[in-house]
Structure 1
Amino acid sequence: MKLHILAILCMATTIIQAQEETGLWTSDRPDGHAPISVMGDHTHSKGDWMFSYRYMHMNMKDLHQGSSEASMQDALSQYMVTPKNMPMNMHMLGIMYAPSNKITLMAMANYQSQEMELQNRMGNEFNTASSGFGDLKISVLYTFFNKNRQKLHAQVGFSFPTGSINQEDVTPMSAPNKTILPYPMQIGSGTLDANLGLTYLKEWDKLSFGSQLMGIFRTGENSNDYLLGNEYSINNWMAVPVNSWLSFSGRVKWAAVEKIHGANPDLNPMMVVTADTANSGKTYAEAGLGFNLYAFKGSLKDVRFGFEATLPIYQNMNGIQLKNQETLTFGLQYSL
């Protein structure tokens, strides 16, 4: 009789523990992390570390005014020079550490390079380029709850002005000397910026969902007398785990970027489209498709590889600006 009671108690304990374990949201599946382009999407358990590397290629090409296409002639009727396209490449390094089950610390650094092809009223084309380390971001992620296979956490962080806002290059008008480049060609913001976010996660056996609200809030003016606009976004994604090591994801993002306040006195707003702050700020939406690979055992255990391709589905520009085109993001993540 005692053995039967002991066996029943052991079974009951096992069932309760299993219910508690399955009641928690977990990252131990391929869709346990968001699409690779989403940052700050998850937290870690006490004592866990994660190191990450991401590479992003973004292309901007052709002109947009409001929500309609604009021609080169439209731009050159108002400015001496107009951009034609601007590819940008970014390398991002990240580190996360959890001193407790509630708190995860995150730091991200990046190196970016970009090139802009331009044309003047005479039809002559030329290129400018810039590169360097961007602004350093440090954040704290706080988990409010993790139950019923749902999780909610907040992000509070700051972006430190380590990126240059004094990038220069030679143009036909300045040759043989270098001149300050317009706002899109600068690497950093030049200001201390607050990064605030809220992320909700939900898992089912064969599906997962995530939603993230993010805001970047600029403070003060930088040393060149301007302030980049605040940014607001909402990211929503769903992912389907095909098996224990592969998942596919779909993502939709809506974002708004405010206009630049102030102006760099060394830039002539009548010279080139990108030097006029009236041509800054926009609202846009984009959609992405991607996959995550997760090594759940073996010598590569806890290594993840992610890929996502993104295309714009809506753009509404202030003034005349280059349109967003494709964005490709690759990334590796390793937890221990």
Structure 2
Amino acid sequence: MKSIKIIGLGIVMFLSQQITAQEKENQNWSSNRPDGHAPISVMADHYHGKGGWMFSYRLMNMNMESLLSGKDAISNTDAHDAGYMVTPLKMPMQMHMFGTMYAPSDRITLLAMASVVKNDMDLQMRMASGMIVPFSTSSSGFGDIKLGMIYKFINKNKQSLHGNITFSLPTGSITETDVTPMSSPNEALLPYPMQIGSGTFDTNLGITYLGQKEQVSWGSQLTTTLRFGKNSDDYALGNKLSFNNWFAVKAKDWLSFSARLEGKFVNKIRGTNSNLMPMMVTTADTDNSGGTYMNGGLGFNLLAPKGTFKDLRLGFEYTTPLYRKPNGIQLKNKETITVGLQYAL
């Protein structure tokens, strides 16, 4: 009889522990729902439990077209009259991003990211005679590699707080060249926006707050990119500060919709590449770099909750500028479309 009581007590204790663990799990913020990840454009937005892996792929297409001088639209003729022989018309950019995440503990998630970048730019040159000569340049290659860590501070009451630190290695080229009307038949060094990497060892710091209710979720993320020193061509791209806020609605167990607001502040390029002529083209003048921007995004996440493709996610986001104030004369940022796949193990 005594042994039966002991066994019964053991069963009760085991069941109570299971219930307590389940209640705790239900009180935690969870990534196992379609809105458990931020809009696909946001990086380092979540972490994993001990032993968890995730592999991701993103395709980002960004378009820039026509010119701004500060907040004001200007024509290419105006830019030529400001003293520039060459002015850009448009620049589509495409980036393929590959990522891996692994959690050696419940607190720490390690991450690695690599990218392949393709830039195209259409420009025009005004000759001394006034004749306009259009031409195009392009560059492509592997971008800078990023290695980092996410650290979970808090996860309770359906709220979470984590920080991240990422180091960027200067593996992307800063020596891209192409043929221009001025250099033909030889190739000339392309200006700053057409280079693939930064050429510097950069540090990205961020902190992310997440919250959930039964049918909705939200998040805020503050990140900064700091570039130390200058690269081999004696310049450094501008430091960046970004503030992201998003809100999502879980429509189904496999579908959520999101809205995002981003503020971004980018400093001017520090230093100059002596091989570039600032008054030849607007993109070679470091005064025409950096600025203040606000973007809005709408998107959705699809999650396979079970079956053969369990834990496979598809994310989509369309982003458009709401406010633009670049420094100097720059191409106008237009729409950005990001599509991505994420698979967790």
TM-score (norm 1): 0.97
**What does 1:254-333 correspond to in 2, within 5 Å?**
254-333=263-342
- The structure 1 residue matched to 2:225, chosen from 206, 216, 224, is 216
Cα deviation, residue 326, structure 1 = 0.5
**Which residues of structure 2 form unaligned runs of 5+?**
none
The separation in 2 between residues aligned to 1:126 and 1:86, in whole angstroms, is: 12
Q: Percent identity?
A: 57
- The structure 1 residue matched to 2:100, chosen from 72, 95, 100, is 95
The residue number in structure 1 matching 2:75 is 71
Are 2:89 and 1:84 equivalent residues in the alignment?
yes
The residue number in structure 1 matching 2:170 is 161
Q: Partner amino acid for 2:169?
A: F
Q: Partner amino acid for 2:104?
A: P
The separation in 1 between residues aligned to 2:15 and 2:160, in whole angstroms, is: 28
Structure 1, residues 11-53: CA drift from partner, whole Å, max 9, x if none?
8656533321111111110001111111100000000100000
Are 2:122 and 1:113 equivalent residues in the alignment?
no
Are 2:206 and 1:197 equivalent residues in the alignment?
yes
Cα deviation, residue 2, structure 1 = 11
Cα deviation, residue 68, structure 1 = 1.4
The separation in 1 between residues aligned to 2:111 and 2:12, in whole angstroms, is: 45
Q: SS state of the match for residue 168, structure 2?
A: strand
The residue number in structure 2 matching 1:39 is 43
Are 2:192 and 1:187 equivalent residues in the alignment?
no
Q: SS state of the match for residue 278, structure 1?
A: coil
Q: Partner amino acid for 1:106?
A: L
The separation in 1 between residues aligned to 2:110 and 2:245, in whole angstroms, is: 23
Shift of the 106–125 alpha-carbon distance from structure 1 to 2, 3 Å rule, reads: same
**What does 1:104-183 correspond to in 2, within 5 Å?**
104-121=109-126, 122-183=131-192
TM-score (norm 2): 0.94
Q: Partner amino acid for 1:263?
A: T
Structure 1, residues 57-116: CA drift from partner, whole Å, max 9, x if none?
000001011111111111111200100000000000000000000000000000010110
Cα deviation, residue 310, structure 1 = 0.4
The separation in 2 between residues aligned to 1:161 and 1:5, in whole angstroms, is: 61
- The structure 2 residue matched to 1:239, chosen from 223, 241, 248, is 248
The separation in 1 between residues aligned to 2:231 and 2:21, in whole angstroms, is: 55
Q: Partner amino acid for 2:107?
A: K
Q: SS state of the match for residue 132, structure 2?
A: coil
The separation in 1 between residues aligned to 2:120 and 2:18, in whole angstroms, is: 60
Q: SS state of the match for residue 327, structure 2?
A: strand
- The structure 2 residue matched to 1:18, chosen from 18, 22, 38, is 22
The separation in 1 between residues aligned to 2:181 and 2:249, in whole angstroms, is: 52
The separation in 2 between residues aligned to 1:134 and 1:305, in whole angstroms, is: 24
Structure 1, residues 129-178: CA drift from partner, whole Å, max 9, x if none?
00000000001100001111111111112000000000000000000000
The separation in 2 between residues aligned to 1:112 and 1:6, in whole angstroms, is: 60
Structure 1 residue runs of 4+, over 6 Å off? Answer: 1-11
Structure 1, residues 209-268: CA drift from partner, whole Å, max 9, x if none?
011111000011101111111000000001101010000000000000000011000100
Q: Partner amino acid for 1:304?
A: R
After superposing the two structures, state which structure 1 stretch, 170-179 or 3-12, moved more. 3-12
- The structure 2 residue matched to 1:249, chosen from 258, 263, 278, is 258
